[in-house]
Amino acid sequence: MVTIRKVDSSLMDARGQSQSPALTPAQKRRLECEQQLRAAIAKIRSPADVFEIRLEDGEKPITIRQRLLRVASGMGTEIAVRRHGDGLLIGLLTPERRSNRGRRRANSEA
């Protein structure tokens, strides 16, 4: 059963005064990781700029890869991500670095 009670009308009229909840430790780590990735991607200016990302214990390469691609997409930069040893390599996406997996492009089918 729900509880209904009368309250002051000023609560309904007040906008933007609700407090947002504090970030959890996991959310803070994710935010810091995203900022680090954004900084690394911002340094990529030419195909010669390649960075290695070392993974910490417990981090999955596929998760970091997805974060990298999401951050790069938000920044409007196309990057290539490759596995290298225990980490990942990131660099500017060039035709040579583009994957040939999946469907053919529409213009090459004709």
What local confidence, expressed as pLDDT, does residue 8 receive?
A: 85
pLDDT digits (tens, 9 = 90+) for 49-98: 999 999 888 889 999 999 999 999 999 999 999 999 889 999 999 989 88
Q: Which amino acid is at 66?
A: Q
Q: Which domains does the chain have, with CATH numbers?
A: 25-98 (3.30.1370)
Confidence of residue 17 (pLDDT cuts 50, 70, 90): low
CA dihedral over 30, 32, 35, 36, signed as positive or negative: negative
State the average pLDDT over residues 2-6.
Answer: 76
Q: What is the mean pLDDT of residues 10-23?
A: 73
Average pLDDT, the chain: 86
pLDDT at 78: 94
Q: Is the pLDDT of residue 30 over 70?
A: yes
Look at residue 19 in the predicted model and tell me its pLDDT.
63
Please report the pLDDT score of residue 106 as a whole number: 76
In whole angstroms, give the CA distance from residue 28 to residue 30: 5
Interval 6-32 mean pLDDT: 81
One DSSP character per residue, 66-106 reads: HHHHHHHHHHT--EEEEEETTEEEEEE--TTTS---SSPPH
* Beta sheet of 79-84, edge-to-edge order: 50-54, 87-92, 79-84
Measure the CA–CA gap between 21 and 54, rounded to whole angstroms. Answer: 32
Query: Strands 79-84, 87-92: parallel, antiparallel or unpaired by DSSP?
Result: antiparallel
